[in-house]
A and B are shown apart, each in its own frame.
Chain A
Amino acid sequence: EIVMTQSPATLSVSPGERATLSCRASQSVSTNLAWYQQKPGQVPRLLIYGASNRATGISARFSGSVSGTEFTLTISSLQSEDFAVYYCQQYNNWPPWYSFGQGTKLEIK
């Protein structure tokens, strides 16, 4: 089983600043990683797939990168609507055995 570990659990950032969220895989998942945003009472929304590809309609302020088994979601110049919980998900396994990180809550400082 591949375990995804996100850090930090909570990140406090001021509007206009940059946020950097991390997600580490317990073993290689290649670039088979997605990031989702979830606001309170809402459905998870796809942000990034393939570690670094923005989904349709996602602002260029969101970017993803990877180094080995360490994945990063960067949100530049935070807007009020960006404060939410962010989850990473690996989809490298076959047969499929998807695993999500435990989430990072991005809150206003």
Chain B
Amino acid sequence: EVQLVESGGGLVKPGGSLRLSCAASGFTFSSYTMNWVRQAPGKGLEWVSSISALSSSIYYADSVKGRFTISRDNAKNSLYLQMNSLRAEDTAVYYCARVAIAAAGSLWFDPWGQGTLVTVSS
């Protein structure tokens, strides 16, 4: 069974840092582009960042560029999101999501993890 499990969320003060992790199983992790998508409370979905299968291509939404860093460890089947200089508007559930087809770049997302909540508040 394909599974994505996020962890690392929590309460952090404005200006603080947090590192999210996503553990993948049930598929060949090193063959897929991976993504982070977030959803603020009661709001819609916002793409945050993408990383290609071998980490050669990395992209960010303007809202997080320069503050967030996506990375992966294919030996550990894990995806990460290092979040620095956090702001109140970064408060959201953060989902990791796989592109649907191996070796593909821009594609629809399937599956999604269950998400981890990040709350930025003093």
**A: which residues have CB within 8 A of B?**
32, 34, 36, 43-46, 49, 55, 87, 89, 91-103
Contacts and interface: CB of A to CB of B under 8 A. Distances in A.
B105 A98 contact: no
A43 B44 contact: no
Given A95-B57, A96-B50, A99-B47, A44 B105 contact: no
The residue in A89, A98, A100, A101 that gathers the most chain B C-beta atoms within 10 A of its C-beta is A98
B108 A89 contact: yes
A44 B45 contact: yes
The residue in B44, B46, B61, B111 that gathers the most chain A C-beta atoms within 10 A of its C-beta is B44
Nearest to A43: B112
B108 A44 contact: no
B115 A98 contact: no
A102 B46 CA distance: 9
Contacts of B50: 96, 98
A45 to B, nearest CB: 8
Contact of B47 (A43, A45, A100): A100
B114 A49 contact: no
Contact of A87 (B44, B100, B105): B44
